[in-house]
A and B are shown apart, each in its own frame.
Chain A
Amino acid sequence: MEKNIIIKVCMGTGGVASGGEEVLAKFREMITESNLNAKISSNCHAQKVGCRGFCSKDVLVDVIVDDVKTTYKHIKPDMVERIFNEHVINGVPVNEWLAGPEYNNFHDKQTKVVLSHCGDIDPEDIDSYIAVGGYNAAKKAVLEMAPEEIVNIIKNSNLRGRGGAGFPTGLKWELGLRIKSDVKYVICNGDEGDPGAFMDRSVMEGDPHSVIEGMIICAKATQSNSGYIYVRAEYPLAVKRLQMAIEQCLMKNFLGNNIFGSDFSFDLKIFQGAGAFVCGEATALMRSIEGKRGMPSPKLWRSAERGLWDKPTVLNNVETFANVPKIILNGANWYRKLGTERSGGTKVFSLSGKVRNTGLVEVPLGISLREIIYDIGGGIEGGKNFKAVQTGGPSGGCIPAELLDTEVDYESLARAGSIMGSGGMVVLDENTCMVNTAKFFLEFTQAESCGKCTPCRIGTKRMLEILERITSGKGKDGDIELLEELGNHIRATSLCGLGMTAANPVLSTLKYFRDEYIAHIKEKRCPAAVCRDLITFTIIEELCKGCGSCKRVCPADAIRGTRKSPHRIDKELCIKCGSCFDACKFKAILKV
């Protein structure tokens, strides 16, 4: 009996970090050693695939026997032998290691367009991409379609910029096509800098050819002959795989001169960013490619008129480009119907924080936050209560429980005081202090301000100082009003998007969780018991068994007591590290 067996090992950054390379090597070794192909199967091979979005369960391994897929989670190299012997050779899956229903729930409720190939194909092999229909769209666009035709399809698809601002992609391309110039550029923005966001990374690492294909189609649509992919240098695997993909494309004549045998040429280069968050802003990104300091410039001209080296430039995000081939193949209507009236298609979010299933999720626009967090994310970790969800990266806002049914699209999120951003989604539970959360995000944005404009450079720093004051118990009357004034000031006067949105975490928490600020300032109390300067640890005598575990872990030697009698914490010496709280098995330590 001939069997067709494919073993797919997740080798996204998460997979590699969890030991994916060793797992894959072990599988390959087993296949060779067992001489399986000669014995029972005409085709058995193990391959690497990109991230499928569920990194908390890495290393994930698919064993596909005659199109029946079984997924294993948390696989280590020493587990490979058993899977191989029991499942691959004898056809009996190892039940206790299966990924189980939550894995299926996580995936079944998503609509995968951008991520459809991630986790399925070998990102380092162009033939693997071609086998799933890759480059058909580019071929069609280059050989059969007029630029205007492509622009119209993209316009009708309602695709909007996935970098966060949501500018209609078709309009941008139309402007790019209309401007006449000897040199035009297409740039892909892969400078994904939001903490906790890894949507673009997964696409570049898991399906790099889809980005390149989208760029080829854009180049044809805007009649541009050169392009750049701007990737942050902190994504070495993405850089490597994109570089491999470009080389493979050059070999196949999908890039370079007269691509697909047409008279159209498109040259593509990778440019590595040097680590500035602000370079995700289009004008700063272009200055960075020019070799200058990455600082946003005032928008006297649109990039489509004067962009990179003052030449017309169309710049889109990784995810935007990755959508394009599918739109060309399946039509504008198909894509538009996936989303809402104003924004077509799907959006990838990186779901993180206090949610049970963390990872990448791709959902149609218009879905509610509740569906993402509870149906796909599996609800809050440890059965705690949901408090808020922070969307849009460090410059997004916090959306409270009462707005959980907000539809996820550009306009609704903005109305709720947040932004779509590039798609970060951090879930916060009842144990989160909202003032502290706002402070955390402001720490990031103020440090990443390019320093060009006054409100962002000094204003965000001053906001952070006020927040530090409040969380350390030195808040004053009027601080809330000052924060609000300063936040609105920075939003109204900043030069670029970084500054305009930097105050969002503060303004949105002030709007929905004002009582927490008041508790910090007036009562010098942190309701979530997070802010170290405002909490105290006390031992409840009735509950203390005198086991001494708290005393042993206390790094400050602040706990006194003899065995089997209640202990006490010396408040003068206590450094509020919380070690005793974590160590106590009898819940005898009170944190307030």
Chain B
Amino acid sequence: MVTLKIDGKKVTVRKLSTILDAARKLDIPIPTLCHHPELSPYGGCRLCLVEIKGSPKPVASCTTFAKDGMEVITTSPHLEKLRRTTLELLLSDHPNDCMVCERAGDCKLQELAYFYGIRENRFAGEKRSYKKIDNNPFINRDMEKCILCGQCVRVCEEIQGVGAIDFAYRGLKTLVSPPFEKDLNCEFCGQCVAVCPTGALTGKMWANKGRQKFKEVETICPYCGCGCNIILHIRRNKVVRVSSREDSINSGWLCAKGRFGFSFIDHPDRLKKPLIRTASKDNDTEDSNDSKLQKQAYLKKFKEVEWDEALDYIAAKLKEIKEKYGADSIGGLSSARCTNEENYLFQKFIRAVIGTNNIDHCARY
């Protein structure tokens, strides 16, 4: 453990903690754009500069280890001037189109520009301009808004283990890009969208569907047994976007299904009540090329019932089969989409109630 002083306050942190970690522990705000606690230290945005007593130059707090006896100052007229100029530089190569930007109100750059009151820019000059080429259904890339914080590159490489994007070119023309500047063709987990501090990477599914006044409902992702935390952003009773909390079991990381696979919620084909088959299975394949007609014909063989009726029906059937053919003629197959608790209950039911060991799970191997 090391003990240091930040802005006159003492704090003790574990060895190999950075000054930024220590400051966050004290709840002292230091602006950053490229730092992410789960990703490797980067030191690119240069906003988190702090002064250390005895050191001739300010240092980046995100990439400097806290040392015993260190005396750190996080804010001074000099530091604030440096931060302001750095922000001005970033904004001098940023489209000032917050009015139509998907991330307005939820953008770290906009927030900092607001705190530092930057409207006029002394460094106006050449801006990057790129053609957009996203033909995928999930991610919009607007590289003119990219501030090169590198979080997307790091999350793709370090968390997802994919490495679908990296930096290309040098100088002002530096660009985050898939290989050979081709269209993005990855697993579309959208982790990059989640960590992007600006509007450079946004979800296509929630484009132009509102930026404010969402109802946020915290729940568990229904896709697999991992049980990731998800937050549904709801507007007019429709799920518009999915995010996840960084302090959750999944550290805020999600996969493509969890993040983008929510359109089933309002899909017209979604079954909302149990169905009981009324006609024989034999004639299921009817000659029709029209899939809509096929579906209608198929659904005619079922009747929609309430849960009580469905459960009574299943219980009666199971009892009947068990009496007639014995318990081992019944088997249970459960799903990876159920929770641990549900899977436990199901095997308990098959073993203790039905009385057979014929129980398996789709994700066993």
Contact = CB atoms under 8 A, between A and B. Distances in A.
A447 B170 contact: yes
Interface stretch (B67-75, B121-129, B274-282, B324-332): B121-129
A295 B167 contact: yes
Given A300-B65, A448-B171, A451-B171, A461 B126 contact: yes
Interface string B50-93: 00000001101011110000000000000000100110011011
Interface stretch (B41-49, B199-207, B314-322, B353-361): B41-49
B170 A495 contact: no
B167 A454 contact: no
- Give the interface centre of B62, B89, B90, B125 by most chain A CB atoms within 10 Å: B89
A315 B58 CA distance: 26
A485 interface: yes
Interface string B5-17: 0000000000000
A494 B46 contact: yes
A461 B62 CA distance: 25
A460 B170 CA distance: 12
A458 B46 contact: no
Contacts of B42: 298, 452
Given A448-B171, A459-B89, A495-B60, A453 B46 contact: yes
A554 B332 CA distance: 94
B216 to A, nearest CB: 33
Given A298-B41, A300-B65, A489-B82, A450 B90 contact: no
Given A462-B92, A489-B85, A452 B44 contact: yes
A452 B63 CA distance: 14
Given A458-B93, A465-B125, A453 B45 contact: yes
B170 A493 contact: no
A454 B60 CA distance: 13
Given A454-B90, A462-B92, A446 B172 contact: yes
Interface in B145-171: 147-148, 150, 166-167, 169-171
Contacts of B150: 452
Interface residues of A, number: 33
Contacts of B43: 297-298, 452-453, 495
Contacts of B148: 451-452, 454, 457
B174 interface: yes
Interface string A450-477: 1111110111111001000000000000
A462 B123 contact: yes
A92 interface: no
B15 to A, nearest CB: 13
Determine the main DSSP class of B at the interface with A. loop
B250 to A, nearest CB: 27
A461 B89 CA distance: 10
A485 B85 contact: yes
Nearest to B169: A451
A492 interface: yes
Contacts of A453: 43-46
9 contacts: A297-B43, A298-B43, A298-B62, A455-B89, A457-B148, A458-B89, A462-B123, A489-B86, A492-B82
A2 B169 CA distance: 63
A492 B58 contact: yes
Contacts of A299: 63
Given A458-B92, A493-B58, 8 more contacts: A276-B170, A298-B43, A451-B171, A454-B45, A465-B125, A482-B122, A492-B82, A495-B44
Contacts, number: 102
Which of the listed residues A454, A462, A485, A495 has the most CB atoms from chain B within 10 Å of its own CB? A454
Interface residues of B, number: 37
B46 A451 contact: no
B170 A300 contact: no
Nearest to A297: B43
Nearest to B85: A489
Contacts of A293: 166-167
A222 interface: no
Contacts of B125: 461-462, 465
Contacts of B172: 446, 449, 451, 457-458, 461
Interface in A224-274: none
A179 interface: no
A300 B63 CA distance: 6
Contacts of B86: 454-455, 489, 493
A99 interface: no
Contacts of B49: 493
Nearest to A292: B166
A98 interface: no
Contacts of B41: 298, 300
Interface in A286-304: 293, 295, 297-300
Contacts of B47: 454
B47 to A, nearest CB: 8
Interface string A338-378: 00000000000000000000000000000000000000000
A462 B60 CA distance: 22
Contacts of A461: 125-126, 171-172
Contacts of A485: 85
Nearest to A294: B170
Most buried by A among B43, B147, B148, B150: B43
Contact of B82 (A276, A447, A462, A493): A493
Given A455-B89, A458-B90, A462-B92, A448 B170 contact: yes
Contacts of B171: 446-449, 451, 457, 460-461
A455 B46 contact: yes
A495 B46 contact: yes
Interface in B164-204: 166-167, 169-174
B85 A486 contact: yes
